[in-house]
Structure 1
Amino acid sequence: MARSKEFEEIEVLDKAVQLFWEQGYEKTSIADLVEHMGIHRRSLYDTFGDKQALYMQAMNRYGQTINTTLEYRIKGSETAREAMESIFDFMIEDLDSAPAGCMYVNTAVELGLRDNAANEMTTKGFIRTEQLLARIIRQGQVAGEFATSRDADELAELLHNALIGIRVWKRTSADLKKLHRIAKLSMEILDR
């Protein structure tokens, strides 16, 4: 008779996300995962596969969580400018309870082109963020909030780069005033 699972997959996957996000892929051992997730080694392998497969699932879960949060913040904004400011504020302040930085950025730096699956996942995540930013920019341009002299997709790439920089700075002891100043100056490109 097969034993029933004694854990919720999403709950333990979120614990894996937290650990991988905090420590990175290479520093995190199976023993670390078993302890942090609170499941048996056999359950980890039976449910998630090997460490690489678990990492990809954790990356996917991270992306879903961040995208859901960003969409929620955007829908709660009355203007495109407010939506963009909300995204910058989220990256600067609201992630204080989470590990430092961005799991996608951390993965790109740690694994880069050495791991095709991780590279593909981070690239797709970056593209989704740029598409989201471009959508906000287009809305702002149509509403007359943002200048139309520049292409929304190119502006999104530039603002995404600023967001990545902010997330890297969050891995240091950077002053929040500095990060807000970077955000404010970055957004000024929308008015030119």
Structure 2
Amino acid sequence: MARNREFDVDKAVDRAMDLFWRRGYAATSLQDLLGEMSIGSGSLYAAFGSKEALYARALERYCSVYTYGFAERLENATDVRTAVRSVLLEMVEADLAEPERGCLVVNAATERSDDPTTADRVAAALRLLESALAGALERAKARGELSPDKDPAELARFLTTFVQGLRVVGKARLGRAFVDDAVSTALRALD
């Protein structure tokens, strides 16, 4: 007879996500995960199958919180410029507070680009971000907030790329002045 799980799977995924986010996949050992999640190896394998599968779940959780959250804010924005600026500055603040973390999507793309599951998850997150930006920019154009000569799809691709670069620059610790100037320049693309 199988035993019932004696731990909260969602909390365990959140703890694993935090650990992978801080250390990366390769630097996070199975023992690190077991300690962080306060479970035994049998429970980890029964619930997730493997370290790799747990990483996929953790990356999915990160995307559901951060990427989908960003997309939702853009969807509900009444002023696209304000919404984009606000989200970019929140990223800057997060990176200044904890530069070693960066963005788990960027970290995954650079550390595990050879893993098809990770590459697919990263690509899906970036496509979602691009789509949310394009939709918000289309709505802004229809409201007259964006010049008629601007292409929302092109701007969305640029901003999606900029966001990832901004997160890398944050990890490089180039400082507030550097990133503030970059954000200001990126926002001028909407003029």
TM-score with structure 1 setting the length: 0.90
1:143 corresponds in structure 2 to: 143
1:119 corresponds in structure 2 to: 119
Aligned length, in residue pairs: 190
% same residue: 31
CA contact (8 A) 1:102 1:167 kept: yes
Q: Does 1:19 align with 2:19?
A: yes
2:106 corresponds in structure 1 to: 105
Kindly report the root-mean-square deviation, in angstroms, between the aligned alpha carbons of the 2 structures. Answer: 1.9
Q: CA–CA distance in 2 between the matches of 1:123 and 1:75?
A: 20
SS of aligned partner of 2:177: helix
Shift of 1:71: 4.4
Shift of 1:123: 0.7
CA contact (8 A) 1:141 1:148 kept: yes
Q: CA–CA distance in 1 between the matches of 2:15 and 2:99?
A: 12
Shift of 1:187: 1.2
| Structure 1: runs of 5+ lacking an equivalent | none
1:8 corresponds in structure 2 to: 8
Distance change in 2, residues 1:29/1:14 (3 Å): same
SS of aligned partner of 2:67: helix
Q: CA–CA distance in 2 between the matches of 1:56 and 1:30?
A: 15
SS of aligned partner of 1:164: helix
Kindly report which structure 2 residues correspond to 1:45-124, keeping only aligned pairs within 5 A, or say none: 45-71=45-71, 73-74=73-74, 77-94=77-94, 96=97, 100-112=101-113, 114-124=114-124
| Structure 2: runs of 5+ lacking an equivalent | none
What's the CA shift string for 1:8-56, capped at 9, x where partnerless? 1111100111111111111111111101111111111111110111111
CA contact (8 A) 2:79 2:140 kept: yes
1:38 corresponds in structure 2 to: 38
1:29 corresponds in structure 2 to: 29
SS of aligned partner of 2:147: coil
Q: CA–CA distance in 2 between the matches of 1:11 and 1:97?
A: 22
Following TM superposition, the consecutive aligned residue runs of length 4 or more in structure 1 with deviations greater than 6 angstroms are none
Q: CA–CA distance in 2 between the matches of 1:173 and 1:165?
A: 13
Shift of 1:150: 2.6
Distance change in 2, residues 1:98/1:11 (3 Å): farther
TM-score with structure 2 setting the length: 0.90
What letter is aligned with 2:103? Answer: C
What's the CA shift string for 1:63-90, capped at 9, x where partnerless? 0011343245446744111111122122
